[in-house]
């Protein structure tokens, strides 16, 4: 494999993993009755609608059908991809949920 092929493969792997991160985020939102697009806009108000997020929403299932997505999992994948602003918004939602359940 030459350098160009290796580079292309790395880019494709990153894109697949990034799509998985977005899907984890979207499903976590659905599981907690949150609007993924609204949270995304809160984190990144200057960005256009995210096409990858829309694609991920098409792949989510109802919370009744979905397995649990742990808070630590969603925060971990967001952090892994440098989405600190979105992780901050997610953390705020987790804190709100924890306060309501007390």
CB 90 within 8 Å of CB 74: yes
The residue ranges of every structural domain in the chain are 3-100
According to the model, what pLDDT value does residue 41 have?
A: 95
pLDDT (tens digit per residue) in 43-75: 999 988 889 999 999 999 999 999 999 999 999
pLDDT band for 1, please (50, 70, 90 cuts).
confident
Mean pLDDT of the chain: 93
pTM: predicted TM-score of the whole model, two decimal places: 0.89
Burial of 16 (0-12, 13-18, 19+ CB in 10 A): exposed
pLDDT tops 90 at residue 97: yes
């Amino acid at each position: 494999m030459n350098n160009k092929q290796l580079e292309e493969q790395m880019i494709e792997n990153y894109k697949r993993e990034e799509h998985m991160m977005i899907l984890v985020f979207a499903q976590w939102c659905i599981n907690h009755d949150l609007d993924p697009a609204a949270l995304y806009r809160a984190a990144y108000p200057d960005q256009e609608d995210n096409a990858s997020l829309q694609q991920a929403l098409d792949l989510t299932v109802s919370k009744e059908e979905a397995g649990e997505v742990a808070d630590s999992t969603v925060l971990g994948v967001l952090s892994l991809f440098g989405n600190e602003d979105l992780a901050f918004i997610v953390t705020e939602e987790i804190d709100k949920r924890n306060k309501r359940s007390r």
